Amino acid sequence: MRPADTTARPSVDVLISEVGPRDGLQSVQAHMPTALKCAWIDALATSGLREIEVGSFVPPRLLPQMADAAQVVRHAVARHPGITVMALVPNLRGAEAALAAGTPKLTLPVSASPAHSLANVRKTPAAMVDEVRAVVAMCRDTAPDTVVEVGLSTAFGCTLQGPVPEDDVIALAVACAEAGVHEVGLSDTTGMAQPAQVRRLFRRLQQELGPRAGAAHLHNTRGLGLANCLAAYDVGVRTFDSSLAGLGGCPYAPGASGNVVTEDLVYLFESMGVRTGVDWQALVAAREVLAQGLPGEPLYGMSPLAGLPKGWAPAA
């Protein structure tokens, strides 16, 4: 990742990329009011998070929860200049809107499963690589400082297709890197991954892409989210997507629920002596803002319920 200016901030060992305001909110039926959405992002920023995915630029008729994406981006960029503000764009049109709003980092979903790709973005994986190439070219011409990344959806399996061949995942990752993106990460969109698979696939990704091998976006659908994060960490992954209170999932992948809980992930790493730069107590406070914005929505996480152990201290 290439975070925005973090001058005077302490160094970290891993980057926690908070995806709740996008991945989380797109997966619930209720619409969080824009003012509360911005207040939630403010609370997240206060915790020390260095990267926040604040929305997606998709047609409001498809995801009305994201209709205010431009307004939210402008708020986050103006209010939090030390944070990398990121938005998802599914195509060139979405990227144009995101750049018009001043979004400094774009992420494109490219699915390794043709079935999921058609359901999610109505394009084949090959057509999405062409879309990625067009977005990269536009950014180079009009906004050269913009960071463009790809998250390879369904990299570990698909509820529509079933198993996804690992060779297909790696070939698609190489194609996206050749299209010019800064990074390519792997996403367990459907929560089907297990630690041995995570280690194997991220090792292959790193062998092929080197420093352009990107984030681990892992779900807790079947209870293996943290175990899979540790597996990725063990093979050198240092950027992890997660969502406050575990909010989210993919609306176009049946049964795909449960992002890794940011509070639990931060607690895990800090307990191991791995510095995240994130204040766990401030994350718990941000849950209260989230609850105000989505009253009645289930909030997940083990550490917020149990609290911190006596004598616990974050990584020095």
Structural domain contains residue 6: no
The C-alpha torsion from 306 through 312 and 315 to 316, rounded to 10°, is 150
Question: In sequence order, what are the residues at sequence separation of 6 or more whose Cβ sits closer than 8 angstroms to the Cβ of residue 158?
Answer: 111, 112, 113, 115, 116, 164, 189, 190, 192, 253
With beta carbons less than 8 A apart as the criterion, state whether 308 and 280 touch. Answer: yes
Q: pLDDT band for position 314 (50/70/90)?
A: very high
Average pLDDT over residues 109-126: 91
Q: What is the mean pLDDT of residues 106-129?
A: 92
Residue 83 lies in a domain: yes
Domain for residue 314, yes or no?
no
The string of pLDDT tens digits covering residues 19-43 is 999 999 988 888 999 999 999 999 9
Task: Count structural domains, the chain.
Answer: 1
Give the structural domain span for 140.
15-306
* Tokens found for residue 48: 């020390």
In a domain, 25, yes or no: yes
- For the record, the structure tokens of 234 come out as 């063990």
pLDDT in tens, 252-281: 545 445 799 999 999 999 999 999 999 999
Name the strand (E) or helix (H) holding 109: strand 105-111
The verdict on residue 109 lying in a domain is yes
Q: Does any domain span residue 7?
A: no
Q: How far apart are the first and last CA of the chain?
A: 23
Q: Is residue 313 part of a domain?
A: no
Residue 144's pLDDT band, with cuts at 50, 70 and 90, is: very high
- Taking CA atoms, 298 is separated from 44, 118, 243, 270, 275, in Å, by 18, 30, 13, 25, 29
The pLDDT score that the predictor gives to residue 112 is 95
Taking the C-alpha atoms of residue 38 and residue 293, their distance in angstroms, rounded to an integer, is: 10
β-strand partners of 110: 152
**Residue 38: active-site member:** no
Rg (CA), the chain: 18
Rounded-to-integer distance, Cα 298 and Cα 295, Å:
9
Nearest to 216 by CA among 240, 196, 200: 240
Residue 250 belongs to domain with CATH number? 3.20.20.70
Q: What is the pTM of this model?
A: 0.94
Query: Does any domain span residue 282?
Result: yes
